[in-house]
Amino acid sequence: MRIVKEAICVGALLVAVTPVDAGPDFIEGMCSGGSAGSFPGTACGVTGVGNLSTITGGTSMPFGPGLLDLEDMYIIRITDASIFSASTLDALTTFDTQLWLFRVDEFDPLLDGVGLLANNDISAMETASMLGPMSTDGTVVITEGIYYLAISGGAGAGFPGRFPVAAGAAMFDFMTPTDIVGPLDPFAIIDDWSGDGAVGTYVIHFEGVSFIPAPGAFWVLALLAVNTRRRRRATP
């Protein structure tokens, strides 16, 4: 069995801090423009100092003329992969959720946004979602570093709802909705979203996660350069 161990290069630029207790919270309204984007180039950096406890936000349909807000993407820092978890199990989460984890690579734009892990449902009776440090089959293992975390809505009863796409194909397959799954193609990079999913408010709880450095840090500038190059390549 092939093991894909995900070592984020950007982690070498940062000093690891092991969480020892719950940290402060982050609200989507703190993002630039007041809302998290849907792609690596528009993801909301969860900036601050110390450990991260929760992210609170919401999706809606529509929020303006012809505009949809069906998924949110954040940039987080995993500081202790051995205890890492991200979960939407909370009384204030009002819809069927799905969680997605993607690679951040500020050195190689061809790897930035590669799909890593996804989960639809925690259990057959619970539509909240949870990610851990590895896929259920053990083929993808997460290490400390910077990652994109996205949330979107499911379609109920374990069916996929709103899901990430690479070159017109789904990046993940929820054959078993309660599994934490790895990508269908380990080199596929998110370039779109497809499908219809539920919307509402959410709270994502974290373990082993901290804020990323405030803008101005070297890795942030490098990441912005990568996303700028990506947008230029996408321009006809």
Summarize pLDDT for 27-45 with one digit per residue, the tens: 999 999 899 999 999 999 9
Which has the higher per-residue pLDDT, 187 or 68?
Answer: 187
Averaged pLDDT for residues 125-154: 96
DSSP secondary structure letter of residue 156: S
pTM over 0.75: yes
For the domain spanning 4-234, the CATH number is: 2.60.120.380
What tokens were used for 54? 């929760």
Q: Are 157 and 197 in contact (CB under 8 A)?
A: no
Please write the tens of the pLDDT for every residue from 168-195: 999 999 989 999 999 999 999 999 999 9
Q: Strands 201-207 and 85-87, how do they pair?
A: antiparallel
- Per-residue burial over 90-102, b if 16 or more Cβ lie within 10 Å, else e, is beebebbbbbbbb
CB atoms within 10 A of CB 202: 25
DSSP secondary structure letter of residue 115: E
Mean pLDDT estimate for the chain: 84
**236, pLDDT greater than 90:** no
C-alpha–C-alpha distance, residues 236 and 220, integer Å: 27
**99, pLDDT greater than 60:** yes
Listed in sequence order, the DSSP H helices in 127-190 are none
Provide the residue ranges of all domains of the chain, joining segments of one domain with +.
4-234
Give me the pLDDT at residue 159, please: 74
Confidence class for position 64, pLDDT limits 50, 70, 90? low
Lowest mean pLDDT among 124-128, 183-187, 204-208: 124-128
Q: Are 184 and 170 in contact (CB under 8 A)?
A: yes
Listed in sequence order, the DSSP H helices in 77-236 are 218-234
Give me the pLDDT at residue 79, please: 96
CB atoms within 10 A of CB 29: 12
